[in-house]
Structure 1
Amino acid sequence: MWRNITSNFLTAMIVILVLVAGMVAWAKREYTVTGPLTQAMCLRVDQGDSFVKVSADLKSKGAISSGYIFRTGADYTEKGGKLKFGSYLIEPGSTMEQIVDQITRGGPSTCGSELVYRVGVNAQTLALRELDPATGMYEELAKYDPVADPEPDGFKELVEEKNITNHRVILAEGATSWHIVQALKSYDFLSGDVKDIPAEGSLAPQSYVVSKGETRETLIGQMQDAQTAILNEAWANRAEGLPYKTPEEALTMASIVEKETGVASERPEVASVFVNRLEKGMRLQTDPTVIYGVTDGKGSLGRGLRQSELRANNPYNTYVIEGLPPTPIANPGKAAIEAALNPDSTDYLYFVADGSGGHAFATTLEEHNANVAKWREIEAQQAKDAGGN
């Protein structure tokens, strides 16, 4: 009898072990297989949240099949105590393993709403935007110019309603250092004063995630470090035989290229014109440098250049001086810096607007004069059309 009992017990234990092993294998497979989520979602993890709360949220939104397996898998991989707060974009089909890795690795928030302060060439906007998980595109909800305009009614309340995950400052290519500093002074999210206007050209036009209370000097330091890195890399990979003695001269050329064209694909061509002029000992004769000399980089001119300004003898009047002006005339972006240090190989010496937003290039003065005549006709027609309206 005892032999039968023992045999039955061992059989039962074997069955139980087989069932447990099968359940463990199934759970492991569930943890790593494609998840049930069919449309991207935004998962918010607040400070103090637990894996129990997060797993319940994911289960209720159809992102995981089992909260228990989700939590057990996190504990098994020693990530159960490493939950990081933030907003996470969960992609369709994400496995539990991938989601656990995402919410325990942390990093910049990839979902939710952002306050974006865009500093343009002559103006700035503070915009509230929200990511649509389904499309991966941001929808702009409200915006205004905090320097020129009063805060619109309801803007602050709307910001408070939303789940703000990032505060971002975006610099446009071609803004001057003076304008950038004035814009940053008007952004109350930052703190502290700016002692000195940064050197022209030293701030990298790109996107910066900022923290509440971060000092303006700290942010400016990040912008300067980024521009230094961009310039150093471009200088190290520059074409041979360029007429620049230093990286700073190349930065000055890049700023001129940046101000001369808004068409990204034209930058290397525009750079080639000015490089060819320098190599031939011709004056650069570019209006943006003259405008900078008139305004000192403080705001836009708001009118055409006068003949007296084109004849004035000052360091930024490239109709009068030889070579480059003494400093950059704006903060150029990476593409303009790379164009200045790797220009197209052309024989162009002239260019003028062609009416399409781009420019017509020429190798001879005769060709250039013909292009100018065409542009004058376009200008006249545009003026006529505007008058008719």
Structure 2
Amino acid sequence: MFGRKKQTPLMQQPEGQESDLQPRLAPKSPSEAIKPMAAPPPPPQLRRRRGGMMSTFSGLLTLLIALAGAAIFGISILEKEVSAPGPLQADKVVVIPRNTGTNEIAGLLKQEGVIEQPLLFEVFALLNRQRGQLKAGEFLFKAKASLEDTIDTLVQGKAILHSVTVPEGLTSDQIVARLYDNDILSGDVIETPREGSLLPDTYKFERGMTRQQLITSMQTAQRQAITQIWQRRSTDLPIKTPQELLILASIVEKETGRADERTRVAGVFINRLNKRMKLQSDPTIVYGLVGGKGTLGRGITKNEIETATPYNTYAIEGLPPSAIANPGRAALEAVANPSRTKDLYFVADGSGGHTFAETYDQHQRNVARWRQIEKTRATTDGAVDRAEPDDDVKSGMTGSPAPAPAQDQAPAVLKPGARPRAFDASEGTNKDPLKNKSFDLNSQKSVPNLRQP
């Protein structure tokens, strides 16, 4: 009993489990004993289910790549199509009305033979919206113009520009009449502008511009010109306001059509104003008789010179109440900075210009030479140019203390069949603004030479 260890029973394993201590089976043969044991199989991998967001993103990315490729291919094809020469065989003018939609423009261009594919035109116009909207107007499309060229023309607004020339010296009524003669302008003039408020010039405009819009542009240009010229005028002038500058410039404009003598004619009137002499300008008498409607069509009579009107500068002192025409920039500049002379008189010299004099005696001699030129011309032409004034009228022109300076036009009643003389230096000549409707005031090369008819 003593000295003998008590045997401890083995722990029992739960049923169905193998113990790690369970002895391995002995190999059946020596060959099996030296063979390595087979590795246990890897544990099975659990397959995870792909999330819905990742799947959607992957699909969208694939779709976008496919669409981008298709877009690049389509754009390359589109660029080739829109840059190809168009069907137009010769240059053509097409008018695009206002408030016309893109599809209507496409149809109109197709009808006019400018493009072949209206749908392609609309697509390309849509792709170029960032460059601007298609504009209305009158456009010139070149022969073989591509669709891209056509779009550029409409987007950039390269409309055809027309022009109307308004010569210096026209009255506002005459300018309005000239605008109504232009059939490209549209609409009516609300009212005849104030005399002298329009700047003579050559104005560019697109088809569809109204006459009133052009009148407004001319008024704005005249205001700007007067403001600029007034600021750089001579400081010792006897005129005190821009309106007085405008009035005197209109008289200078009607007295001479020669650019080289405007400042000298202006100097005569400035000298007379300084000496408180009457201006005695014939064009002011005419304007007082007919307003801005036109000319007398005859010489000025003695009675008309002696009849006082607000515009008769033989009867009133100083300036008339308003301009008698619309002067140009050159006439305004001439009055603002006249020639520094002592001239008080001038008379026509027979060549479209004038001869100037400081004294009355000099002026008388100049008038006598002019009378001889008139008689010689009448004999050469084989007709009486104008009636010879009687002694009373003649003495009124050349013998009075204040003779007429402005071309010294005799107040005469015309004989039957006699041709009336012009009342200013340009009337009846090639530069008469009532006759000449073609020359461009901005281009000296196209202005005809002033010469006596």
TM-score normalised per structure 2? 0.52
Partners of 2:230 and 2:224 in 1: CA distance: 10
1:288 aligns with 2:283: yes
CA contact (8 A) 1:86 1:106 kept: no
Q: 1:50 to 1:257 in 2, by over 3 A?
A: farther
Q: What amino acid is the match of 1:345?
A: R
Amino acid at match of 2:258: V
Instruction: Tell me what 1:225 maps to.
Output: 220
Deviation (angstroms), 1:190:
2.1
Match of 1:208 among 203, 209, 220: 203
- Please state whether the residue corresponding to 1:224 is helix, strand or coil: helix
Separation (CA, whole Å) in 2 of partners of 1:388 and 1:282: 37
Aligned to 1:299: 294
Query: Are residues 217 and 261 of structure 1, via their aligned partners in 2, closer, same or farther at CA, if it must alter by over 3 Å?
Result: same
Distance change >3 Å, CA 107–CA 271, structure 1 → 2: farther
Q: In the alignment, which of 183, 188, 191 is matched to residue 193 of structure 1?
A: 188
Shift of 1:219: 0.8
Ranges in structure 1 where 5+ consecutive residues have no aligned partner? 1-48, 58-77, 89-101, 110-164
Question: Which letter does structure 2 place at the counterpart of 1:375?
Answer: W
| Cα deviation code 1:69-117 (max 9, x no counterpart) | xxxxxxxxx9xx79999669xxxxxxxxxxxxx98996877xxxxxxxx
- Which residue of structure 2 aligns with residue 310 of structure 1? 305
Give 1:275 deviation, angstroms.
0.2
Answer yes or no: is 1:255 the counterpart of 2:244.
Answer: no
Q: Which amino acid aligns with 1:386?
A: D
C-alpha separation between the residues in 2 aligned to 1:171 and 1:245? Answer: 28
Which whole-Å CA distance do the structure 1 matches of 2:347 and 2:199 have between them?
28
Give 3-state SS (helix, strand or coil) of 2:161's partner. strand
Aligned to 1:379: 374
After superposition, residues 52-71 of structure 1 pair within 5 angstroms as 52-53=84-85
2:259 corresponds to which residue?
A: 264
Query: Deviation of residue 192 (structure 1)?
Result: 2.1
More strand by percentage: 1
**What is the aligned-residue identity percentage?**
50
Preserved CA contact (<8 Å) 1:354 1:375: yes
SS for the counterpart of 2:249 is helix
By percentage of residues, which structure has more helix? Answer: 1
Which runs of structure 1 show a deviation greater than 4 angstroms over 4 or more consecutive aligned residues?
49-52, 81-88, 102-109
Q: Tell me if the contact between 2:161 and 2:207 (Cα under 8 Å) persists in the aligned partners.
A: no
User: 379-388 or 278-287, which moves further after superposition?
Assistant: 379-388
Question: Alignment partner of 2:274: what SS?
Answer: helix
Q: Deviations over 1:218-249 (max 9, x none)?
A: 11000000000111000001011101111010
Are 1:184 and 2:176 counterparts?
A: no
Do the aligned residues in 2 keep the contact of 1:273 with 1:348 (CA within 8 Å)? yes
User: What is the alpha-carbon distance in structure 1 between the residues aligned to residue 175 and residue 163 of structure 2?
Assistant: 14
Q: Which runs of 5+ in 2 are unaligned?
A: 1-80, 90-127, 142-151, 385-453
Corresponding residue of 2:319: 324
2:372 maps to a residue whose letter is: E
What residue is the counterpart of 1:344 in the other structure? 339
Report the Cα distance in structure 1 between the residues aligned to 2:250 and 2:331, rounded to whole angstroms.
7
- Using the alignment, how far apart are the partners of 1:388 and 1:289 within structure 2? 29
Figure out how many residues of one structure are paired with residues of the other and give that number.
Answer: 256
- The answer as to whether partners of 1:168 and 1:210 remain within 8 angstroms in 2 is yes
Q: What does residue 69 of structure 2 align with?
A: none
Closer, same or farther: CA 311–192 of 1 in aligned 2, 3 Å: same
Q: 1:276 aligns with which of 261, 271, 274?
A: 271
- Offset at residue 297 of structure 1 (A): 1.2
The amino acid of 2:224's aligned partner reads A
CA RMSD of aligned residues (A): 3.3
Alpha-carbon deviation of 1:211?
2.2
Larger radius of gyration between Structure 1 and Structure 2 = 2
